[in-house]
Structure 1
Amino acid sequence: MECDFILKEIKNKVKESMIVGTYIVLLAFLLINLKGVTMILGNIMVIIKPIIIALAMAFVLNILMRIFENKIFFFLDKQKSEFLRKLKRPLSILATFLFVIGMMVGITLFVIPQFIESLSTLIDAVPGYLNSFEAMIDKHFSSIEVMKAIQDSVIDAWKEVFQIAGQLIGKSLTGILSVTVNITNMIFNFVVALVLAIYLLANKEKLILQSKKLLYAFLKKDVVDKILEVGRLTNVTFSSFIGGQCTEAIILGILCFIGMNIFKMPYALLISVLISVTSLIPVFGAFIGTIPAVFIILIISPIKAIWFVIFIIVLQQLEGNIIYPKVVGSSVGLSAIWVMVAITVGGSAFGLIGMLIGVPTVSVIYQLVRNATNNKLNKKGIRVK
């Protein structure tokens, strides 16, 4: 009996040593062939990129599709005809895409003309600004030495401009070819992702069931239960966050539009849409949109630009203290410091996309760590005050 116990212990030790040795060998191989491994991973990412885009599109569109299913086409479930009941999902998908396309077309038709108008105003105002600058130079810098120094600086600056322009022209053909290839790849990836997203939305229950079967077939039940628990938590957190963030952005855009019209500020629609879109980024979004907005108003009236900054600061306080906690609030479940960390780290690592998904990602991690910590403390019978 004792001999069997010793053999079992030796067997376990050998098994542990083999696992550790395998990990060390794999790690050494990866480090030695890091360049080749990076190239392989890059090629794999290129291949699966449309799938990743499709999953992201399907996840976001599923939130809107569920609204159509539960609020608009719910009556089809009560129909006696099976054909009519089966129409619920296709009609919901169609309504979802029509709504998104309609929003994009509407924004394009309203925003682009105003944007072109603001650019035209800027171009028309530039000669006046140059004349004012020239008059100021003549008034305050009338000496020949100063004017000669300014003239020499301008000449040197133009020489550098022409030199850089010549270099750019020399590389333009390569740049045009590269841009053309990139645009073609983007269009191809988008079309493939769109088709996959429609398929995922249409067959999401079947795909989820198949995934569960695969997991339970090849993994331990406890492991699969943990994976599914994390999946449910991630789905709820991301869905609530995206829905709440979009609702908050729409409310903020509407309030901005109403306020700008009350105070007779120019380009109310253009700037309100800009503020609404950028406010999808938590905390910093509205301030990011304020920068180009102030520049646009500054062209028309510097005084109104100052008043707009004051108006946005007040609106941001209203949004941060009342709208955000009510609309997004519990869907995130993070304190202000963790929100800041999520945005900073996500933005540094993945840019704009990282800033958008950083908060719900950190929220999921935070909840998992909190639950695991509480379970450990409960098992140990420890209460921390």
Structure 2
Amino acid sequence: MTDKDKKIISYTVFVALLFLAVLNWTTVVSFLQMAWRVALPLVIGGVLAYILNILMMRFEKIWFPKTKNQTLIKLRRPMSILLAIITILTVLVIISGIIIPQLVSVILGLIDSIPVLITAIEDWANEYSEYFPQLNGIIDALDINWSNMVRNIVNVLNNISTSLVGSTLSTVGSLFSFIVNGLLSLMIAIYVLFSKETLGAQFKRVIRIYFSESFYNKFFYVISVADESFEHFITGEVMEAFILGSMVTIGMWIFQMPYAAMIGVLTGVTALIPLIGAYLSGAIGFILIIVQSPTQAFMFLLFIIIVQQIEGNIIYPKVVGNSLGLPGLWVLIAVTIGGGVMGIPGMLIGVPLGATIYKLMKFDMNRREEKAEKTKASFLAKKNADL
């Protein structure tokens, strides 16, 4: 059988399988959904292992790098993994400890201040109603019976509690499944980190055996470019988030604005979403501050706009953009497409994925141009030799 016959058979089988998949699309989708649920702990474990690996490698460099003590050498990997996990958990606990208590107090204060705010608006409207007759309609609209409102809120809470009691078993089951999947993902991540060199060597061996040398080289070149892009993106984003959160916290503290620590931490967390993250925290901060002081809220809005200009024109290009080598237009395109396809997770992976595609295209175009130049030079040399 010739190579041409093999290709024809391969294409025929592929078209037949594709045709069967289209005819049984519902079954195929159900199977893919089931496969995704089964593979989800593996996927999360792989992502967690990749993130922990960035910290683990840095801890390994500082864990007695010049020692010859075999005990310390054997402890290098497990201690580095443990320190990486502790570091991430510590950051999450600190962020939660700063944001959640203040956010709860803000929500409770907001609920308490709504009647006062409505009353102040009514008093102001009554005072200026003779100058602005149309305010009478607004006053009537704001004539709220607070006793009835409180009674309605209590009824709503009772209904919610009843439904919560009815769905307790379902909630407990979902929580148990979440905890099990989380622990399983963490165990997978730890196992991958402990044996990453062995797994990497085995994976390379499989690719080398079952595929051509050309495919092997191209495949691992793509993997290396993607790994470089994602690692630079993660480290750059974390550094930029820390810088931006610190700037907002210190600036709000200097100008004596409320909720400086909470909004600063919130800005740092949302800054992990490229381009639009800090605007989200700015909008939330504006809403929180305007309840206490409209003047300070507009001052905060001006302050956050200035910080955004510094972040967009100085911090992000220097800390993240230069490390990725991705032009600003590509960043915008990557965030837009990633967000449209996968929401916030798509925004997070869109930029490093776009950087990977950009670098691969740039390399391929340069290679093709060099090949064309060599072909042209060879042709001209042959032509001159004939003359």
Q: Which interval holds the TM-score relative to the shorter structure?
A: 0.7 to 0.9
1:337 aligns with 2:325: no
1:47–1:114: structure 2 CA closer, same or farther, 3 Å change rule?
same
Matches within 5 A, 1:246-325: 246-325=238-317
The answer for the alignment partner of 2:73 in structure 1 is: 85
| Larger mean Cα displacement after TM superposition, 317-326 or 102-111 | 102-111
The answer for the alignment partner of 2:203 in structure 1 is: 211
The answer for the alignment partner of 1:57 in structure 2 is: 48
Choose which of 234, 238, 257 in structure 1 pairs with 2:230.
Answer: 238
Deviations for 1:173-200, whole angstroms, at most 9, x for unmatched residues? 7765554443332222111101111111
Provide the rounded CA distance (Å) in 1 between the counterparts of 2:57 and 2:232: 13
Identity %: 35
1:23–1:378: structure 2 CA closer, same or farther, 3 Å change rule?
same
The letter of the residue matching 1:263 is: F
| Larger mean Cα displacement after TM superposition, 96-105 or 354-363 | 96-105
Instruction: Determine helix, strand or coil for the equivalent of 1:257.
Output: helix
Q: What's the RMSD between the two structures over aligned residues?
A: 3.2
Instruction: Determine helix, strand or coil for the equivalent of 2:326.
Output: coil
Choose which of 91, 99, 111 in structure 2 pairs with 1:103.
Answer: 91
Deviation at 1:16, TM superposition (A): 3.0
Tell me the TM-score normalized by structure 1: 0.86
Instruction: Determine helix, strand or coil for the equivalent of 2:5.
Output: helix
1:185 aligns with 2:202: no
Instruction: Determine helix, strand or coil for the equivalent of 1:78.
Output: coil
Q: In 1, are the aligned partners of 2:321 and 2:327 still within 8 Å (CA)?
A: no
The answer for the alignment partner of 1:42 in structure 2 is: 33
Deviation at 1:171, TM superposition (A): 6.7
Provide the rounded CA distance (Å) in 1 between the counterparts of 2:289 and 2:238: 26
Provide the rounded CA distance (Å) in 1 between the counterparts of 2:213 and 2:69: 39
Q: In 1, are the aligned partners of 2:208 and 2:216 still within 8 Å (CA)?
A: yes
Provide the rounded CA distance (Å) in 1 between the counterparts of 2:123 and 2:168: 42
Choose which of 98, 102, 113 in structure 2 pairs with 1:114.
Answer: 102
Deviation at 1:311, TM superposition (A): 0.7
1:365–1:148: structure 2 CA closer, same or farther, 3 Å change rule?
closer
1:165–1:107: structure 2 CA closer, same or farther, 3 Å change rule?
closer
Tell me the TM-score normalized by structure 2: 0.86
For structure 2, the 5+ residue unaligned runs are: 376-387
| Larger mean Cα displacement after TM superposition, 249-258 or 203-212 | 203-212
1:341–1:208: structure 2 CA closer, same or farther, 3 Å change rule?
same
Deviations for 1:306-327, whole angstroms, at most 9, x for unmatched residues? 0111111111111111111221
Q: In 1, are the aligned partners of 2:46 and 2:189 still within 8 Å (CA)?
A: yes
Provide the rounded CA distance (Å) in 1 between the counterparts of 2:310 and 2:139: 54
The answer for the alignment partner of 1:200 in structure 2 is: 192
Deviation at 1:116, TM superposition (A): 2.3
Instruction: Determine helix, strand or coil for the equivalent of 2:343.
Output: helix
1:205–1:349: structure 2 CA closer, same or farther, 3 Å change rule?
same
Deviations for 1:93-147, whole angstroms, at most 9, x for unmatched residues? 111111112222222223322222222321221220132244456664999x969
1:29 aligns with 2:20: yes
Choose which of 94, 111, 116 in structure 2 pairs with 1:123.
Answer: 111
Deviation at 1:216, TM superposition (A): 1.4
Provide the rounded CA distance (Å) in 2 between the counterparts of 1:93 and 1:289: 32
The answer for the alignment partner of 1:362 in structure 2 is: 354
The answer for the alignment partner of 1:5 in structure 2 is: none
The letter of the residue matching 2:29 is: T
Provide the rounded CA distance (Å) in 1 between the counterparts of 2:218 and 2:337: 27
Choose which of 38, 50, 59 in structure 2 pairs with 1:68.
Answer: 59
Q: In 1, are the aligned partners of 2:56 and 2:84 still within 8 Å (CA)?
A: yes
The answer for the alignment partner of 1:4 in structure 2 is: none
Provide the rounded CA distance (Å) in 1 between the counterparts of 2:108 and 2:155: 29
1:102–1:21: structure 2 CA closer, same or farther, 3 Å change rule?
same
Provide the rounded CA distance (Å) in 1 between the counterparts of 2:335 and 2:75: 41
The letter of the residue matching 1:20 is: Y
The answer for the alignment partner of 1:353 in structure 2 is: 345
1:258–1:183: structure 2 CA closer, same or farther, 3 Å change rule?
same
Deviation at 1:337, TM superposition (A): 1.4
Matched positions, count = 369
Provide the rounded CA distance (Å) in 1 between the counterparts of 2:361 and 2:139: 68
1:167–1:24: structure 2 CA closer, same or farther, 3 Å change rule?
farther
Provide the rounded CA distance (Å) in 2 between the counterparts of 1:151 and 1:259: 37
For structure 1, the 5+ residue unaligned runs are: 1-7
Instruction: Determine helix, strand or coil for the equivalent of 1:87.
Output: helix
Q: In 1, are the aligned partners of 2:122 and 2:142 still within 8 Å (CA)?
A: no
